[in-house]
Homo-oligomer: A and B are copies of this chain.
Amino acid sequence: MKKAILENTGHGSLGNKIFNILRDRILNEEYAKGQKLNEVALSKELQISRTPIREALKQLELEGLVRSEPNKGVFVIGFSHRDINDMLEIRYVLEALAVELAIERINSVQLDKIKEAYLAMEEASKVRDQDKFNDANIAFHESIYKGTQSQYFEQLLRDINYYIHVTSRHSIKQPNRLDSAAIEHREIYEAILAGDKKRAVEKVKKHIRKTQFLVKHYYESKDN
């Protein structure tokens, strides 16, 4: 799964590879909030020059994962539970908009990919393969984004979705979540296929709200 994400993100330059490494470290909380990321230390650790390191840090800054202070360095920002919840709120409204646009504009190839992703989810749900399920889940939603035919919208949602998946991936390990999630995605797919905007939006909203609830529940139980 990690590999899949790594490969479809940017091209294979060193800078992009480092970006992926550092991003995952931050999202997995391997760096403390506020910690400074030293360029030479990183270049020594990763055995490369400072140039690709700086590229990756720039990218992280633009993604909002670190902040850069002039002549001082970059510092890890980190995510609070509220931040994750805010992102899910953003995703809630954007996915609803995306599915509407997608229904207007999607072509048959992209529609097939949604179906394919949905079938993979169902299969993964049956054999209880969490990783495979996650991959299919991501593929499902990204196919919808692609269906909007808007590079900008697609990119925006993919980024948001990435953070949500990484930060909350532990939270969806409830026993029967795979099954119910598969059903929810099936409902979304069928609504899109039928070209029924209203129903599709409704099903998407229901799905995101449920995810949001589970994530919230997970973090609250963790705090106790």
Contact = CB atoms under 8 A, between A and B. Distances in A.
A156 interface: yes
A55 B56 CA distance: 10
B63 A153 contact: no
A97 B101 contact: no
Contacts of A151: 64, 77, 83
A83 B11 contact: no
A54 B63 CA distance: 17
Interface string A1-45: 000000000111101000000000000000000000000000000
Interface in A68-83: 68-70, 77, 82-83
A87 interface: yes
B152 A87 contact: yes
Contacts of A54: 55
Given A63-B62, A64-B151, A70-B11, A97 B87 contact: no
Nearest to A148: B86
A12 B71 CA distance: 10
Contacts of A10: 68
A12 B70 contact: yes
B97 A93 contact: yes
Contacts of A156: 90, 156
A59 interface: yes
A94 interface: yes
25 contacts: A10-B68, A11-B68, A11-B69, A12-B70, A15-B58, A54-B55, A55-B55, A55-B58, A62-B62, A62-B63, A64-B151, A64-B152, A64-B155, A82-B150, A83-B150, A83-B152, A86-B148, A86-B150, A89-B97, A89-B101, A90-B94, A90-B156, A93-B93, A94-B94, A156-B156
